[in-house]
């Protein structure tokens, strides 16, 4: 699992690459801490190369979403694959996040 964070024009982009399972979730959460701290900005979670997500990954997504809601920011989930979309649908996350296709 790899996380790349870039900032451009007041938009924070976190590129998630690989499997986000329970084993790596703690590490990913730590990596994304700066993003959560700047939740007043627009946050883009780039899932183009995210192959898998477990409930622990969903918790990170939800944590960011809650932070944004609190600080008046915005969270965009971009390019999720069909499998993850299925999970989002199952868990009601489709209603909580703005999903974009690039």
Partner 1 sequence: MAARKKLDKATRLATRQGLLVVIVCLLTLEATALLQYYYSRKILSEESTRRAQGQLEATKLHILNVLDQVETAVRNSQWSVEQQLIKPDSLSAVTVRLVASNPVICGSTVALKDHMLAPYSHEAEGTILTSTLATEEYDYPHQEWFVKPLELGEGYWSEPYFDEGGGNILMTTYSVPVVDKKGRTAVFTADVSLEWLSDLIATVKVYPTAFNMVVSREGRIMVSPVETLTIEHNVHDLASSMEDSTTFQSLNQTIMAEESGQDTYKYQGKLHYMFFDKVPRTGWVMSISIPEDEIYGSIKRLGAMVTLLQIVGLLMLILVLYYMVRGQRELRQSEEQKNRIDGELQVARGIQMSMIPKIFPEYPECADVDMFACVIPAKEVGGDLYDFYIREEKLFFCIGDVSGKGVPASLVMAVTRSLFRTVSAHEKSPQRIVSTINASMSDMNETNMFVTLFCGVLDLKNGHLRYCNAGHNAPVLVQKDGNRELPVEPNLPLGVLFEMSFTEQECDLSCGTGLFLYTDGLNEAENAYHQLFGEERMMAALKSGLESRQQIAAMTDAVHAFVAGAEQSDDLTMLYIRFMNSQITEETERHLILHNDIQQIPQLAEFVESVADIAKLDVGMTMSLNLALEEAVTNVIMYAYPPGSDGLVDVEAVIREKELRFILSDSGVAFDPTAAPEADITLDVSERPIGGLGIFLVRNIMDEVTYTRSDDGKNILTMIKKLA
Interface residues with partner 1 (CB under 8 A) are 19, 21-23, 51-56, 58-59, 62-63, 65-66, 69, 82-83, 86-87, 90-92, 95-96
Phi, psi of 83 (to 5 degrees): -65, -45
Which tokens go with 12? 């924070």
Nearer to partner 1, 37 or 83 (CB): 83
First to last CA, the chain: 22
Q: How many CB atoms lie within 10 A of CB 73?
A: 19
30 vs 86, which CB is nearer to partner 1? 86
Least Å distance, CB 61 to partner 1, is: 10
Q: Choose between 87 and 99: whose C-beta lies nearer to partner 1.
A: 87
């Amino acid at each position: 699992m790899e996380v790349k964070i870039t900032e451009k024009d007041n938009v924070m982009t976190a590129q998630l690459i690989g499997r986000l399972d329970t084993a790596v979730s703690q590490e990913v959460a730590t990596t994304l801490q700066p993003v959560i701290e700047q939740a007043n900005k627009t946050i883009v979670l780039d899932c183009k190369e995210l192959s898998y997500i477990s409930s622990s990954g969903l918790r990170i997504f939800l944590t960011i979403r809650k932070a944004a809601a609190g600080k008046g920011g915005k969270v965009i989930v971009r390019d999720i694959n069909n499998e993850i979309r299925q999970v989002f649908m199952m868990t009601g996350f489709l209603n909580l996040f703005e999903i974009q296709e690039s």
